[in-house]
Chains A and B, each alone.
Chain A
Amino acid sequence: MTGLVANVVFEPGFFANGPVQVALLAGGVVAVTSGVVGVFTVVRGQSFAGHAFSDMDTTGGSGAFLLGIGTLWGFLAVAVAAATAMELLGVERRRGRDVATGVVLGAALGLAALFLYWDTAVASTSGATTTVLFGSLFTIDGSTVPAILAFSVAVLAVAAVLYRPLLFTSVSADTARARGVPVRMVGAAFLVMMALAVALSAITVGAVLSTALLIGPAATALRLTKRPGTAMLAAASIGLLGVWSGILVAYDSSAWPGHHGWPVSFSVVAVIFVLYLAAELQSWARAGRAQAGHGRAATRSR
């Protein structure tokens, strides 16, 4: 009986498949890293920066193609460069920061356009566009796995060290500054951390969709709990679930009649988005019940 269920859920050969194993390992590690960093990103309201990094990875990836080096290094180079640029532009106010981010992002994307054009025209690497933009867990070069693991562990280690100052500065920058916390440095370190996390997930689901891994599980987790530590565990778990189910769905789908197989990046993002919506609906329903319970509770408050 269990054998039958297992065969329905897991298409035969799933666990023995080489690329699948790499995907599960790399994807899993990256999911955990992104989940943890993502919680900070959401709490600090820096989702746009997170997305900007992922789009800018397009620039890095296409540049890497041009130079003939692995896309991971292109992503990492952009991560550091972009984080530095954004920190230098370092506008304190939220609105100004977003506009500045937008301008940098626009320029970076423009550069990406150029690189991709050269990639296809000059270097004639077909499919450069799609690989860089959308990536694929199944085509990760086995030799980059140790690097992915190493960087992920490094990011998690930094997160552990910066845990308290990051939370402190996120809640109240002024108080933290008064207490002697180097707010600017912590902010800059976080930008680099975020950029690295995004670069790592860009390797797995592609530049354009890596925001999903960063923000989705974290946002879902924060709907379920308000405590940061718990949220990070939840986000990591949800990310893991998303990536592994996405891999499974993509693998299985090639065996479905009529289909040509779902892109794995899409599958991962779809699972994550569905989980987010579920958490949203559940929290919405819970708020509705609480209001009803108070009878004539004050309704329209701005």
Chain B
Amino acid sequence: MSPESALPDVVTLDRIGVWLSGRQILHDVNFSVRPGEFAGLIGSNGAGKTTILRVILGLLQPTDGQVLINGTPRPRRNRSIGYVPQKVLIDPDLPLRARDVVGLGLDGHRFGLPTPSASRRQRVNEMLEAVGAMSFADSRVGSLSGGEQQRVLIAQALIGQPELLLLDEPLANLDIASEHEIVDLLRRISTEHHVAVLLSAHDMNPLLPVMDWVVYVAAGRAASGTVDEVVRSEVLGGLYGHPITVLRVEGRILVVAGSDAEIITSAPATLERT
């Protein structure tokens, strides 16, 4: 096994339950992300992915269970996790350049003014290079495209040398080419900077080539493991609480409601083609 198995898991969710407004959003969620691992948090909208991310970040206190960072209960000020939220509405009038935002990732939590040292500038430049954002480093961040802003936010999260990069639906609203770019970028960052990645998505297919680990969330419950272990009809059926069929079609995975028998009788033409 790799030497990393001796290190504690970067983040562990231990029997996490969350109640909000009288409804149970998460039910007995357990999983871990190991150092350097690339994990996908997969589920449809409303399944509970965002809630899980917020619990990990400490933005939401779980009703049951605990979150462990590197083996110890979550500290108040957490520096081990770099967070890239889904939608950051940046005012186009805001006089802040891309490099300023990355700088905030480095020391935005500390008091005082940013020190104009050469080493700080160099670190910021390195990060901008790493995400391919040097060409617009001095542009106003609010005028960048969605994809460009996303790269800046990734750089912002990465510069603090976190052990885990947490991304909320980074692939949403992206065209297929951009999806591939971002997934490749994240995989490269994960390998080169030795940082674990946990990102949420509702479609796992773009991630299949790079995912080491999957956490599948449905109806507030989760199952984790490799893709082959988790994405199976029986496992997912257990999560959803009703029959599920997993179809593999030309290297892609489709999760469909209904049992094998129902699907065969309702759409025979489609199945025969695969």
Contact = CB atoms under 8 A, between A and B. Distances in A.
Interface of A: 93, 95-96, 99, 294, 296-302
B63 A296 contact: yes
Contact of B19 (A96, A297, A302): A297
Nearest to B26: A298
Contacts of A99: 93
A96 B60 contact: no
Contacts of A96: 91, 93
Interface string B75-96: 0000000000000000101000
Contact of B60 (A93, A294, A298): A298
The residue among A96, A299, A301 with the most chain B CB atoms within 10 A of its own CB is A301
A126 B20 CA distance: 60
A104 B181 CA distance: 45
B63 A297 contact: yes
Identify whether the interface residues of B are mostly helix, strand, loop, or mixed: loop
B263 to A, nearest CB: 34
A301 B63 contact: no
Contacts of A298: 18-20, 60-63
Given A301-B59, A301-B60, A302-B60, 14 more contacts: A93-B91, A95-B91, A95-B93, A294-B19, A294-B22, A296-B63, A296-B64, A297-B19, A297-B20, A298-B20, A298-B60, A298-B62, A300-B60, A301-B61
Contacts of A296: 19, 63-64
A297 B24 CA distance: 10
A294 B64 CA distance: 13
A297 B63 CA distance: 6
Nearest to B22: A294
20 contacts: A93-B91, A95-B91, A95-B93, A96-B91, A96-B93, A99-B93, A294-B19, A296-B19, A297-B19, A297-B63, A298-B18, A298-B19, A298-B20, A298-B60, A299-B61, A300-B61, A301-B20, A301-B54, A301-B60, A302-B60
Contacts of A297: 19-20, 63
Nearest to B58: A300
A294 B61 CA distance: 14
A298 B64 CA distance: 9
Contacts of A95: 91, 93
Interface string B35-54: 00000000000000000001
A301 B19 CA distance: 11
A215 to B, nearest CB: 26
A302 B63 contact: no
Shortest 9 CB-CB distances between A and B: which pairs? A296-B63, A302-B59, A301-B60, A299-B61, A298-B20, A95-B91, A300-B61, A298-B63, A298-B61
